[in-house]
Chain A
Amino acid sequence: MYSLMSSPSISSSSSSFLGQTHFDSRNPNACLPTKDSWICKCVATPSTETTAHTTKVSRNANMAKLQAGYLFPEIARRRSAHMLKYPDAQVISLGIGDTTEPIPEVITSGMAKKAHALSTLEGYSGYGAEQGEKQLRAAIASTFYGDLSIEESDIFVSDGAKSDISRLQVMFGSNVTMAVQDPSYPAYVDLSVILGQTGQFQKDVEKYGNIEYMKCNPENGFFPDLSTVSRTDIIFFCSPYNPTGNAATREQLTRLVQFAKDNGSILVYDSGYAMYISDDSPRSIFEIPGAKEVAIEVSSFSKYAGFTGVRLGWTVVPKELLYSDGFPVAKDFNRIECTTFNAASNISQASGLACLSPEGLEAMHKLVGFYKENTNIIMETFTSLGFSVYGGKNAPYVWVHFPGQSSWDVFSEILEKTHVVTTPGSGFGPAGDGFIRVCAFSHRGNVLEACKRFKRLYK
């Protein structure tokens, strides 16, 4: 019988499930519910193991390859455990990149308006196009890709980047090889494992077999040395980069597009933080000539409009992107959308449209500006304490170096001594060890207080 993780029961966090131990704690004296023709016999069973029915369905071997839980529920779990341990502590969360500031009213009014309209005959709408509302697709195309020749029909609206990456992986299937940045957003690797693209996890190197990990560190300016990267079918690339916070330059992306072209690879480009860019770094892969023939771009309203709970994003699949047999990738993606998805919520989409109105855009920029100011404060703090600090300028993440130390140890120490939740770099990949990611999503007061505590700990 499987032995299960046991941890204190926790109420509301996303990982609370992991903390519950119902499996082996079921009351051995429980009765079956009484039904007409059933006789209920209450017996004390010695243990559930001997009477539990197991199916004959084999567990998916790919699920068995996954190491522990997904990173962020684990962070949430530790946070909750810490709060139980220190019920009076003011825990500040700069870990999970979760937005905290209220959504501007110009946007939520659009949301509420749509909700009310659903109660009227004229305003009611049922199933929407799986690819998204035409108006919203057009607004996304013109707002973000105005002079890049990306059209409304290239845009697929979704319930967010994570779901999109999942659907892209389902579309690619198990017979493709993939490359990721190391460190990187954990969903790319985990989804690759689930879809059967990888080998087993190799504990000695902390990597899955059959994935090409493209190391990104201070030495290479957090951009992979492409001359050392083997060819893979798919390359996941995030810029501005989560977790290190830097944005790739035009020159770097031009080399990346060329690399993908030379290798016949498909680039899955995650640009969910593009609005945080402060300098001339490209905001879309499609700013690079030739990118339409090699790239898919995934983005999201989450970090621009505080839509982490509302759920809205999009993926661009250019018509020019073709498989080796000439078949257009967009056609398969469309089929995936129609079969495994049923469109983003119409209320979320209505609010997306409100986001892209002139007032909405202005409001979003203000919100982004607020978090950028948080980022500056955090960056200044760690810099003043003598740390090597990366990122921050073009993303809401600060990547702090703790040379020679295990990032989970640093995470635990910071949590224990300052009650501030961060994210350990190794959670994003082996090259993340020795780093801590501090996110800028919090109320200003919390950011200032957290920085005060960091100064106390590290002065």
Chain B
Amino acid sequence: MGWALMGSNMLAWFRPCPKHWATDGSKRMGHSWSLGEHGRVICGAFVLKETGEKNIQGFGHVDPRFWITLICLPALFCHGTKVPRNINMERLRNGYLFSEICRRELEHTQKYPHAKLIKLGIGDTTEPIPDIITSAMAEHAHALSTIRGYRGYGAEQGNMELRNAIAQTFYRDMGIKANEVFVSDGAQCDISRIQMLLGSNVTVAVQDPSFPAYMDSSVIIGQSGNFKEETGKYENILYMNCGPESNFFPDLSNTPRTDIIFLCSPNNPTGHAASRQQLEQLVEFAKANGSIIIHDSAYAAYITDESPRSIFEIPGGREVAIEISSFSKFAGFTGVRLGWTVVPEELLYSNGFPVIKDYNRIVCTCFNGASSIAQAGGLACLSSDGYLAMNAVLDYYKENAKIIMDTFTSLGLKVHGGKNAPYMWVHFPGLRSWDVFNEILEKTHIITVPGTGFGPGGEGYIRVSAFGQRESVIEASRRLKNLLK
């Protein structure tokens, strides 16, 4: 018995592997494999019938859709370990949202190689970093080649000067001290480290919709339980609906207690910045319930009104909250990688043990500090000239947001966000968000993000980001007007 694996590189016949194939020839198991990019797929060990050679690798052509269903072809001598796959990894749904968006983008580019694709999907910054900041990074790089300027391991918590600058710049009147600031390589990594800190035995609430990393990291660490297809939700995660009816903020009067509450404000994806009153209610709720708020303030720099920029503006915030933030979206550091987390000393576990002590241990054990060059850049960002320069870039994206908002509004669509965040949350009532995503992509070659990627509460919405070059944003507006008028 043999099967041919047809491919651009190889054609071969194989013998069946008793581990994976029953004696009647029916398949015992199959694999599907996605690399998320072009690459060669190794099919596993197999035997070439003609030559009898064992354990030779074969190649397959990667299907344009990047999924290959491999009917497991390993032959007599294939080896699988006896290590059980982490059941939490099995619970994850599909690929991470933004990797999926990338994949579809690639696919679309192949289908329409001449189309000018405009990316308003993944919130990736596009404008160059101001010179004053990159010069500081270059200067630090050069210094690393000198005896005086060379630096090896930095403190895992970050360079003290930078920690001070962060405390002074963002938390000046809030009593946050430099030693409560932990510099990192970005919010996504910090979320995961916070999850490692918390462990699997805590209950978690997330906004619905919300940034997928909170949920996915919760699944990975074992807090979530199984995914329920019928509800589109994980059984042990509490989803706090944030729709227009509740002013995009959880209705706390209807929210059961959980140990941990993830809240992002300004919100990704809805763009809503919580008001002072809303955050006061949240802090009070957390205090009454003995919960910990993980407050993601990565977009605070985009706030244009009086909305709080930090949870620690709220009295009592220090006793109930951890705040994460990032240089990504205000300094264009999405590739440079720099962020921070604030863990106040007052934040205590139920047995009185300070959370900051454990977080410090996590940072020292799981991490080795953000890159010293990125930190040098961060320091330059927080100098007065650097800060001014960054604000100019922020204004640029804010203007983009306005253009996009006006476009959708003029088309009669309900648009949320945009004012305090670089995201617009556009309502397409009665339509499925992946369908809208596909239609927009197919007909206007614009990448957006379908609302359901952020949770079931995102159905019927599309997130459009304001990160792009002005001409692209204007062009996108033109195309959208053509399509949706």
Contact = CB atoms under 8 A, between A and B. Distances in A.
A32 B142 CA distance: 45
Interface in A15-63: 15-18, 20, 22-23, 26, 32-33, 35, 38, 52-63
A424 interface: no
B213 interface: yes
Given A14-B155, A170-B221, A103 B145 contact: yes
Contact of A111 (B41, B57, B144, B151): B144
Interface string A103-130: 1110111011001101111011111111
B45 to A, nearest CB: 7
A175 B290 contact: no
A328 interface: yes
A191 interface: yes
A63 B197 contact: yes
A38 B315 contact: yes
Contacts of A63: 197, 199, 358, 361-362
A173 B304 CA distance: 43
B216 A347 contact: no
A171 B86 contact: yes
B142 A127 contact: no
Contacts of B278: none
Contacts of A173: 86-89, 222
A34 to B, nearest CB: 10
Given A33-B175, A53-B320, A176 B142 contact: no
B371 A319 contact: no
A288 interface: no
**Interface size class, chain B:** 35 or more
A433 interface: no
Given A261-B79, A264-B82, A309 B37 contact: no
Given A60-B199, A108-B144, A129-B37, A124 B222 contact: no
Q: Interface SS of chain B: helix, strand, loop or mixed?
A: loop
Interface string B269-301: 000000000000000001101111000000000
Contact of B141 (A108, A171, A308, A328): A108
Interface string B57-95: 100000000000000100000011111111111001001
B152 A323 contact: no
A339 B217 contact: yes
A351 B467 CA distance: 27
A343 interface: yes
Contacts of A55: 259, 286, 290-292, 319-320, 347-350
Interface in A260-281: 260-261, 263-266
Interface string B304-334: 0000000000011001100000000000101
B199 A196 contact: yes
B252 interface: no
A319 B43 CA distance: 8
B174 interface: yes
Contacts of B334: 126-127, 342
Contacts of A196: 199-200
A162 B366 CA distance: 6
Contact of A115 (B137, B199, B364): B137
Interface in A57-86: 57-63, 66, 69-70, 72-73
A293 interface: yes
Contacts of A422: none
A354 B89 CA distance: 36
Given A12-B160, A35-B315, A341-B188, A119 B134 contact: yes
B118 interface: no
Contact of A344 (B201, B259, B337): B337
Interface stretch (A93-101, A216-224, A413-421, A451-459): A93-101
Contacts of A126: 124-126, 332, 334-335, 467
29 contacts: A11-B160, A14-B154, A35-B315, A55-B350, A58-B259, A60-B201, A62-B199, A63-B199, A63-B358, A103-B145, A108-B144, A116-B138, A149-B57, A163-B366, A176-B83, A233-B82, A293-B81, A308-B152, A310-B144, A310-B371, A319-B41, A324-B84, A325-B84, A326-B31, A336-B220, A339-B212, A341-B192, A345-B371, A441-B152
Given A26-B345, A108-B142, A265-B82, 17 more contacts: A14-B154, A53-B316, A55-B286, A57-B198, A61-B199, A61-B201, A73-B364, A112-B138, A160-B368, A191-B365, A310-B144, A319-B41, A320-B42, A322-B44, A338-B95, A339-B92, A342-B189
Q: Nearest 7 A-B pairs (CB), nearest first?
A: A56-B290, A264-B82, A173-B86, A60-B199, A340-B192, A111-B141, A346-B335
